[in-house]
Amino acid sequence: MKRIALLGMPNTGKSTLFNRMTGGAARVGNWPGITVELLSGKILLGDDMVEIIDLPGIYDLHGFSDDEQVVRHFLHDNVPDLALVIVNTTQIERQMSLLLQLKQLDINLVVILNMADEAKKFGISVDVAKMSALLEMPIFLLSAKYGSGYPEALQAITKALRYPTPGMAEQLRSQLEQDEHIETEMARVLKHTVQVPARLSDNLTEKLDSVILHPWLGLPIFFAVMYLLFQGIFIFGQPIQGGIAELFTWLRETALVPLLGGLPQAVQGLLLDGIYNGVATVAAFVPIIVLFFLFMAMVEDSGYLSRAAFLMDALMARLGLDGRGFVMLLMGFGCNVPALMGTRVMRSRAMRLLTMLVIPLSLCSARLQVFIFFTAALFSPKAAPVVLFSLYMFSFGAAILTALLFKGRFKNNEPFVLELPPYRFPTARQMVLRGWLEVRHFLRRATKFIVAGVVMVWLLTHLPLSAVPASADTLAGMIGGALHPLFSPIGINEQLTIALIFGFIAKEIVIGALAVIYSLSGDALGSAIGQQLDWVQAYSFMLFTLLYTPCLATVATLQSESKQLKFTALSLVWSLGLAWLVSFAFYQGARALGY
Amino acid sequence: MSATTLAELHPGDIATIVSIHAEEALHLRLLALGFRTGKQIELIRKASFSGPLQVRIGTTDVMLRRSEAAKIEVRKA
């Protein structure tokens, strides 16, 4: 099958064109020579199926950033039959350098001058026929966003594919480091073909920036935007999540329970409480992920994300992170899973890993449920908000501490020089496509892992079959007992230890697990726990719950995004260790003070 | 006509790039974004708390940290 590689600088609308070409039927895959996964899709061009690969955006074919190396290695080990070079027409003056670098590789090229709509608005005019003649390659003006010029370009691509690629120079990284040749060639072509007005008339972006990036107003506006996003995701997401949960329960009660009624109790339990609940756990994340990426696509495509980076960089730079990391960290307070997936906007791997190490410490909405239950059971209504607030502070503190401690290990070597693209209206099509792709990615990557985890915990809490489920006689109970010397110094008893084992799956089920363990529910459970524990023990338990592994879905996402078992293990060990140390310091400290 | 660095400009200042004293990775990135000797550059704004700078070069708006801007020598117009 013939291969087309999409190449271009960042902010050229490369991914938009990719989505238009593949119609969202893309998959993520591995390629020889590189360690990151790339999106690719197969489409019918003329009479043949052709594979299109979306390469990361690069500034320079000879650059040193992670992405630039990926592209270089990809081209070296997988010579494409055609390279489709996407150029942002509004920035053609400087983007042509990449085009000329690619030309020297002697591969089949078709050039797309994208964002024709914006260039027109700016008053930039390009003599395409002349440029085509000067550069000796087919060039097309196009708007990937609105689709104008698309059919003609597609035709040219089909035609170009008929010719074999002249081959590819082995000395890919040779000559032209800083060469004069490209400079002069660029000036020559531009002089004859492009007209740019002396000053760009883009008042809208400038006016918006003067408010959004205002020295005093900028940050309050940023936090207001974040708050709205956050609220938006949960106002829309929670009812849908609730609906899905109800649907799964209904299906279980009306169809599965009667259907499986004939099977032995243990098999029934494994199928329903193990596998089926695992699937339901996965499904519960779907609406949140879709909504998160609908909103993220909006923030990213509009150009606001780079503004957020501008506003927050002063603080984040000291933590070894950047402003975009802060946006993801905040989103993690809703749900860690999509926030981890969202770190893909960061192109430096080291910084991305550091951000991914920090995100699981954000107090997500599932943990909040546990804390609300415990504060209601053990603290007066007046003290409860203070307790909750202090937990949020611990969460921020743990995130800052983690970033400071690990920023040396995940050192970011890429220069922090970002473009601030003009504000653009994202199209609904782009947003929906993004949400859909991300959910598919999550389902594909995380389902097996999560279902296996849920089944494992079910087995732990139900074996041996003779024991009362989740009691001290089960495997989980035995583990709880064995861990007792570890947990008693932090004030967590054996019942709560078993609940923590459940909490490894998802924090949403901690309260449910406690109900099973104590054979009580609702207010009765609350008052039983209230009588058994004092506030120091309860707070220690909450601190531990806050900091240790958030949930299986987060672990699965850490693994699927980092693709590095060592990193996932580091995250697990660090959060468990930190949880224990913080709880220990708090519990022993409070006891020493006489509480 | 005084020589200074990009980091020391004030919002609204327009200057000409005299030279770029950056390590290779940064240098290449700056070149790709259109930073070249002799080019005009305008400082649009500075973020608060010693945050990054927003500059305009040609048709592109770019943000960079002050430490990186200090490596770009400019002459004020």
Which residues of B are less than 8 Å from A306 in CB distance? 63
Q: Report the pLDDT averaged over residues A273-297.
A: 81
State the smallest CA–CA distance between residue B17 and chain A in angstroms: 16
> Out of A9, A91, A420, whose CB is closest to B63?
A420
- The Cα of B74 is separated from the nearest Cα of chain A by a number of Å equal to 18
Q: How far is B11 from chain A (nearest CA, A)?
A: 12
Cα-Cα-Cα-Cα torsion A94, A298, A53, A159, nearest 10 degrees, comes to: -70
Return the structure tokens found at A506. Answer: 């998802």
* A221 min Cα distance to partner chain B (Å): 14
- Whether A289 and A338 have beta carbons less than 8 Å apart is answered as yes
Q: What are phi and psi of A85, to 5 degrees?
A: -100, 125
3-state secondary structure of B39: coil
- Supply the range of the domain harboring residue B27: 3-76
Nearest Cα to Cα of residue A577 among A507, A479, A490: A490
pLDDT at A587: 96
Smallest CA-to-CA distance from A543 within A341, A398, A350 is with A398
**CATH code of domain A2-201:** 3.40.50.300
Distance from CA of B64 to the nearest CA of A (A): 5
Disruptive mutation site among A417, A418, A419, A423 for chain B (greatest number of B CBs within 10 Å): A417
What is chain B's Cα-based Rg? 11
**Could you report the per-residue pLDDT of A53-94, keeping only the tens digit for each?**
999 888 888 777 788 888 888 888 888 889 999 999 988 888
B66 pLDDT tier (thresholds 50, 70, 90): very high
CATH of the domain at B25: 2.30.30.90
Top pLDDT among A170 and B36 is at B36
Which residues from chain B sit within 8 angstroms of residue A215, using beta carbons?
Answer: 45, 47-48
**Tokens 């271009």 sit on residue:** A8
Element (H, E) at A480: helix A475-482
Residues in chain B closer than 8 A to A98 (CB atoms): 32
Q: Average pLDDT of A5-14?
A: 88
A495 has a chain B CB within 8 A of its CB: no
Least reliable range by pLDDT among A276-280, A370-374, B5-9, B35-39: A276-280
* Angle ∠(A157,A161,A162) on CA atoms, nearest 5: 125
pLDDT band per the 50, 70, 90 thresholds, residue A181: low
- What chain B residue is nearest to A197 in terms of C-alpha separation? B59
Neighbours of B2 (CB within 10 A): 8
What are the domain boundaries of chain A?
2-201, 212-365+396-414+429-444, 449-592
Instruction: Enumerate the residues of chain A whose CB falls inside 8 A of the CB of residue B61.
Output: 419-422
pLDDT digits (tens, 9 = 90+) for A184-232: 777 778 777 887 665 555 678 888 999 999 988 999 999 898 888 878 8
**Residue A106 backbone zone (phi > 0: left; psi -120 to 50: alpha; other: beta):** left
Mean pLDDT of A265-283: 81
Alpha carbons B52 and B61: distance in angstroms, whole number: 13
All residues of chain B having their beta carbon less than 8 Å from the beta carbon of residue A60 are 28-29, 31-32
Instruction: Show the tokens assigned to A182.
Output: 């490209």
B1-17 pLDDT per residue, tens: 578 999 999 999 999 99
CB of A203 within 8 Å of any CB in chain B? Answer: no
Q: Give A91-105 pLDDT, tens digit per residue.
A: 888 888 888 888 888
- Is the CB of A213 inside 8 Å of chain B's CB atoms? yes
For A67, A341, A344, the CA distances from A35, given in Å and listed in that order, are: 11, 17, 15
User: Is the pLDDT assigned to residue A579 strictly greater than 70?
Assistant: yes
Option in A218, A219, A418 nearest B63 (CB):
A418
Q: ipTM value, please give it.
A: 0.92
Residue of A nearest to B50 (CA): A314
- The whole-angstrom separation of Cα A339 and Cα A302 is 19
- C-beta separation of B54 from B9 below 8 A: no
Site of tokens 């859909």: A436
How many structural domains is chain B composed of?
A: 1
CB contact under 8 A, A60 and B52: no
Query: Is there a contact between A122 and B59 if contact means CB atoms under 8 Å apart?
Result: yes
Q: Are A63 and B51 an interchain contact pair (Cβ–Cβ within 8 Å)?
A: no
Nearest CA in chain B to A215: B48
Structure tokens at A203: 């008042």
What is the side-by-side strand order in the sheet with A417-419? A417-419, B60-64, B53-57, B40-46, B14-20, B72-76, B3-5
Cis peptide before A151 (omega within 30 of 0): no
Where residue A177 falls among pLDDT bands split at 50, 70, 90? very low
Cα A13 to Cα A378: distance, rounded to the nearest angstrom? 54
In the prediction, which pLDDT does A425 show?
83
Identify the contact set of chain B against chain A, taking CB-CB distances under 8 A. 22, 24-26, 28-34, 44-45, 47-52, 54, 58-65, 68
What is the pLDDT confidence band of residue A450, given thresholds at 50, 70 and 90? confident
B62 → closest Cβ in A213, A414, A420: A420
The per-residue pLDDT for range A455-493, each reduced to its tens digit, is 887 888 888 888 887 778 888 888 888 999 999 999 998
